[in-house]
Structure 1
Amino acid sequence: MMRTAEPARRRPWWTQLYVQVLVAIVAGALVGHYWPQTGVALKPLGDTFIKIVKMIIAPVIFLTIATGIGRMRSLGTVGSVAAKAFTYFIVVSSFALVWGLVVANVVRPGAGMAVDPATLNAGAVSGYAAKSHELTLTGFLLDIVPETFVGAFTGGNILQVLFVAIPFGISLALIGARAAPVMTLLDALTDAFFTLVSIFMRAAPIGAFGAFAFTIGQYGIRSVVNLIALVATFYTTSLAFVLIVLGGIALAAGFSILRLIAYLKEELLLVFGTSSSEAALPSLMEKMERAGVDDSVVGIVVPTGYSFNLDGTNIYMSLASLFIAQALGIELSLGEQLLLLGVAVISSKGAAGVTGAGFITLAATLSVVPSVPVAGMALILGVDRFMSECRALTNFIGNAVATIVVAKWQRALNTERLAAALSGTPVAPVEHALPAAGPGSAEIVRFD
């Protein structure tokens, strides 16, 4: 269900959230640069905002999935959406790994550094290496199942929310007309939570200000300059991936990647300011539905994409792995690079819900290649925080593209609403029908 309507007329530019967030980022950078101690002290502002957003992610995902599936006429649609989504995730995210690997071999950003492995500070990355051992397949699968139904909402693991939300939505669809009172309640709760999201988003500039002031104050501009080749290569590689690969996918699906980026500018600035794509997850779900994507597709693709469709993280892992090897003067054979690639495909999925996932999965990936010491990660520890913004931005855009593409494949996309939204034209809210009579006969709204 659509939560809020577009305003009848455009508000003054200074009241636009993306303008406020952009000003906050610039102000945070200035404070962090000129008064670094003050910038570091402002860290709680960013942490608090991210905690507030994470607090409402679980109920938003649960309500969106449960109501979306509950309206479906055929439960086979759930499997169809999931199958198409995972096919997209595996193909595109794996290509992102190859993309980073090719660029690292061509540009060779670490070549010529000639770092002596004996001088590396292994202790600086020991914590990340220890956490990487927790990313086993068995542990990953067991962690999907919550201890209790309520525990899925308190553990901070998106996959646990999916585990309880999807079967609950299926049960609503099977009940049919008798589920109407429950659906009415869930719809009202959904409206309430998305209104709550819009309220909390007004604090986004404060969170972005504190988070960016801390980043610059703690690590400084010089830490970027010292490894500018890696940072510049990563940002350029990610940008090229977004414009060429994701842009090509978007073009084939009938929309412009640049217009999509403009449509999501508020969310992208928020992600950049907080270095967390989760901070904009509820808003992404709302905007995808507003742009004509059926809520059943939004509810399945967006949350699972946050765990399994990590284009930016995959580019980072392959690029950073080869950078470390090149900096240490280690030449990896094609077989070793393909081994890294294969492990990265798995480890990137196993890191869902883990704090600092990008750096942790890099440790897990490097651990399978004995010739590259995990301690080499100390070389990029100082600039990893600056690359996390790019990881989050690329992941976020990738999930937005995936949602629209899967909806188009599923014939659950209103192309007129999408075109209107991406062009900046106000669109009216979407209202959905309650489940029809009879078991499994819940109505799904088709737009095209």
Structure 2
Amino acid sequence: MNITTPNPSLNTKKSVFKTVVTNLTFWVLIAIISGILLGHFSPENGVKMEFLGKKFIQLISLFIGPIIFLTIVLGISGMGNLKKVGRIGVKALTYFEVVSTVALAIGVAVAYLFKPGKIDKSSLTFGDASQYTKGASEHFSWLEFFLSNFTLQVLLAAIICGIALNFYQKREQTILVLERFSKVVFLGLKYVMYLAPIGAFGGMAYTIGKFGLATLIPLGKLMLCVYLTMVLFVFLILGTILRYYKISILSILKYIKEELLLVLGTSSSEAALPSIMVKLEKMGCSKSVVGLVIPTGYSFNLDGTSIYLSMSVLFIAQLYDVHLSFFEILTVIGILMITSKGAAGVTGSGFIVLASTLTALHKIPVEGLAFLLGVDKFMSEARAITNLIGNTVATIIISKTERDFTELNLDPVYEE
């Protein structure tokens, strides 16, 4: 009688295979590669896939308002201490301003050192930037920024409701209802996230199909500088901040790899907003800090966008051979410290902010924005990823300073 002995090696291989093929990260990566191939070899069909990326982002966007509102209201009402709410808010805004200013300075320094704008101008192709700069070249309106920024509106409404709930007699019953509703919203989000590969495929196929790989060559130097600067910022600046609290930046990046790939495919950090909030809570950050810092950071802590904006201003100046004095460079940083806070939630946000900044300087032609049209889409992934990492680190740091951080937990959240 033959007895078949189980093969441990075979079982291990099957287990690894099952883990890989059932991992959302694997399918998002496959979708991104497929999108690049389709866009490159069949541009017409690649461009037609744009609706997949847009529809996915629109679907995710439906969850952003409810999740921001519920997490902030529950976070503030759950604290029961309004002084703590104010303290966290002040800490967060101070951190945002300091770190984003460092990002601006690094962007200016790299652009000044490597001079990406000193290239063969005969190879550049202009686009029509008027649709992005219309209405922005005269002035930057904070009122218009607020009225067009849905995230900021929900954030303000949630803060008011959270504070008011602390004085409501039936506070406990209301919180219980909101918590149940919150679970339903996050459950719905869990199933929507299974569509992430489709959204990533559509976004990447459109990008490559629309602009092509060859069009990146003339402006490759600028792209390389932007990407290298953001890598430097993430590992040197954010990595150093985390190291102070004995946390490795690499371990954090590994933990949020699904969100990073999703942002890479969709070119939108908003697509990862709901899931990153869940992961930060699982990691050990308190719900109240996550609920306040992440939504606020999406409007006021845009490290990647700050780097891109500062480098773009100097890039355009170099294209037109406009010399900027040290004082004028400091002026650029000062203006962007304010205008970069309006780079979220506004249609054509990056170009609006750049146009308003260039106009304020009265020295660099606003028309130079046309140079950026061909590669802006490709740099948007780097901006969005850096923004996401920056807000993740900010939440961890604020939780640490509040001593409201449980034991660090970097176990997978979505993998089963």
TM-score by length of 1: 0.85
8 A Cα contact 2:297 2:391, kept in partner:
yes
Once the two structures are TM-superposed, the CA of residue 194 in structure 1 deviates from its matched residue by: 0.6
Q: Residue 325 in 1 paired to residue 329 in 2?
A: no
- Aligned mate of 1:135, from 135, 140, 155: 140
Q: Residue 304 in 1 paired to residue 308 in 2?
A: no
- Aligned mate of 1:387, from 376, 379, 393: 379
Runs of 4+ in 1 over 6 A off after TM superposition: none
Of Structure 1 and Structure 2, the greater helix share is in 2
Instruction: Map Cα deviations across residues 333-362 of structure 1 (whole Å, 9 max, x no partner).
Output: 112211111111111112331133223211
- Aligned mate of 2:72, from 52, 65, 70: 65
The corresponding residue for 1:244 is: 236
Once the two structures are TM-superposed, the CA of residue 120 in structure 1 deviates from its matched residue by: 8.3
- Aligned mate of 1:51, from 39, 58, 79: 58
The corresponding residue for 1:24 is: 31
Q: Residue 126 in 1 paired to residue 119 in 2?
A: no
Q: What does 1:334-353 correspond to in 2, within 5 Å? A: 334-353=326-345
Q: What does 1:99-118 correspond to in 2, within 5 Å? A: 99-113=106-120
Q: 1:112 to 1:23 in 2, by over 3 A?
A: closer
Provide the rounded CA distance (Å) in 2 between the counterparts of 1:89 and 1:405. 11
Once the two structures are TM-superposed, the CA of residue 73 in structure 1 deviates from its matched residue by: 2.9
Instruction: Map Cα deviations across residues 72-118 of structure 1 (whole Å, 9 max, x no partner).
Output: 131101100100000100000011000000111111111243579xx
**What secondary structure is seen at the aligned counterpart in 2 of 1:296?**
helix
**What secondary structure is seen at the aligned counterpart in 2 of 1:71?**
helix
Q: 1:296 to 1:31 in 2, by over 3 A?
A: same
Q: What does 1:233-312 correspond to in 2, within 5 Å? A: 233-312=225-304
Once the two structures are TM-superposed, the CA of residue 137 in structure 1 deviates from its matched residue by: 2.9
How large is the RMSD of aligned CA atoms in angstroms? 2.0
TM-score by length of 2: 0.92
- Aligned mate of 1:157, from 150, 155, 159: 150
8 A Cα contact 1:49 1:207, kept in partner:
yes
Q: Residue 39 in 1 paired to residue 46 in 2?
A: yes
Instruction: Map Cα deviations across residues 174-206 of structure 1 (whole Å, 9 max, x no partner).
Output: 236x21111111001110111111110000000
Show structure 2 runs of 5+ residues with no match.
Answer: 1-14
Letter in 2 for 1:128: Y
- Aligned mate of 1:189, from 181, 195, 206: 181
8 A Cα contact 2:92 2:394, kept in partner:
yes
Once the two structures are TM-superposed, the CA of residue 367 in structure 1 deviates from its matched residue by: 1.4
Q: Residue 376 in 1 paired to residue 368 in 2?
A: yes
Once the two structures are TM-superposed, the CA of residue 426 in structure 1 deviates from its matched residue by: 7.0
Provide the rounded CA distance (Å) in 2 between the counterparts of 1:371 and 1:167. 43
Q: Residue 172 in 1 paired to residue 172 in 2?
A: no
8 A Cα contact 2:140 2:339, kept in partner:
yes
Once the two structures are TM-superposed, the CA of residue 33 in structure 1 deviates from its matched residue by: 0.3
Show structure 1 runs of 5+ residues with no match.
Answer: 1-8, 144-154, 428-448
Instruction: Map Cα deviations across residues 245-302 of structure 1 (whole Å, 9 max, x no partner).
Output: 0100111122111110100000000000000000000001111111111111011100
Once the two structures are TM-superposed, the CA of residue 138 in structure 1 deviates from its matched residue by: 4.1
The corresponding residue for 1:406 is: 398
Provide the rounded CA distance (Å) in 1 between the counterparts of 2:121 and 2:262. 38
- Aligned mate of 2:192, from 195, 200, 210: 200
8 A Cα contact 1:114 1:328, kept in partner:
no
The corresponding residue for 1:362 is: 354
Q: 1:206 to 1:366 in 2, by over 3 A?
A: same
Instruction: Map Cα deviations across residues 383-416 of structure 1 (whole Å, 9 max, x no partner).
Output: 01000000000000000000000111111111x1
**What secondary structure is seen at the aligned counterpart in 2 of 1:408?**
helix
Give the number of equivalent residue pairs: 398
Once the two structures are TM-superposed, the CA of residue 425 in structure 1 deviates from its matched residue by: 6.5
8 A Cα contact 1:67 1:183, kept in partner:
yes
Provide the rounded CA distance (Å) in 1 between the counterparts of 2:44 and 2:119. 35
**What secondary structure is seen at the aligned counterpart in 2 of 1:203?**
helix
The corresponding residue for 1:440 is: none
8 A Cα contact 1:97 1:314, kept in partner:
yes
Provide the rounded CA distance (Å) in 1 between the counterparts of 2:129 and 2:156. 33
Provide the rounded CA distance (Å) in 1 between the counterparts of 2:209 and 2:64. 29
The corresponding residue for 1:146 is: none
